[in-house]
Homo-oligomer: A and B are copies of this chain.
Amino acid sequence: MTERLTITRRATFAAAHRLYRSEWSDEQNFQIFGPCANPGGHGHNYVLEVTVGGSLDPDTGMIADLKWLKQIMERHVIDLVDHRNLNTDVEFLRELNPTAENLACAFWRRLVGAVAEKAQLVRVVVIETENNRATVEEI
């Protein structure tokens, strides 16, 4: 057994989305996605939590500067999705149905390289509502 040290940073964004597949009929979309398939869309106050691990820098007492992690999250995710429509406005989500699972995986892919300079990505959590969330994590 080993002890792992990580830090976690939380950020929020507000976005619209709609769950549906263009290949499917309206009926099929409503059957699978329910009211999430409404053509006008709906939205959420999303919470993004990013956890990174690494060794403790003895000079600073930090794995990595939380301001640095905040900026990585803003530049690679938050600034691109906040106050946007996730179906139409976000280049890196174009091919995806914007479920919490797909968002978590897409954010992981954008962040894993961006944090690698100073730390290792350990967990990405996308909280969609107080009752639902999706998590990608190293195990």
Q: Which residues of chain A have a CB within 8 Å of any CB of chain B?
A: 1-12, 14-17, 19, 21, 32-36, 38, 40-45, 51, 56, 59-63, 65-67, 82-85, 87-89, 96-102, 104-105, 108, 129-139
Contacts and interface: CB of A to CB of B under 8 A. Distances in A.
Contact of A138 (B1, B34, B62): B1
Nearest to A67: B34
B82 A40 contact: no
A40 B65 CA distance: 21
Oligomeric state, in number of copies?
6
Given A43-B44, A61-B102, 18 more contacts: A2-B139, A3-B138, A4-B138, A11-B131, A12-B129, A14-B42, A14-B43, A14-B129, A16-B42, A32-B65, A35-B82, A38-B89, A40-B87, A41-B41, A45-B130, A56-B101, A56-B102, A63-B101
Given A59-B21, A129-B45, A40 B7 contact: no
Tell me the interface secondary structure of chain A in the complex. mixed
B84 A42 contact: yes
Name the 9 nearest CB pairs between A and B, nearest first.
Answer: A43-B43, A40-B85, A35-B83, A16-B16, A61-B97, A61-B99, A16-B43, A61-B102, A42-B83
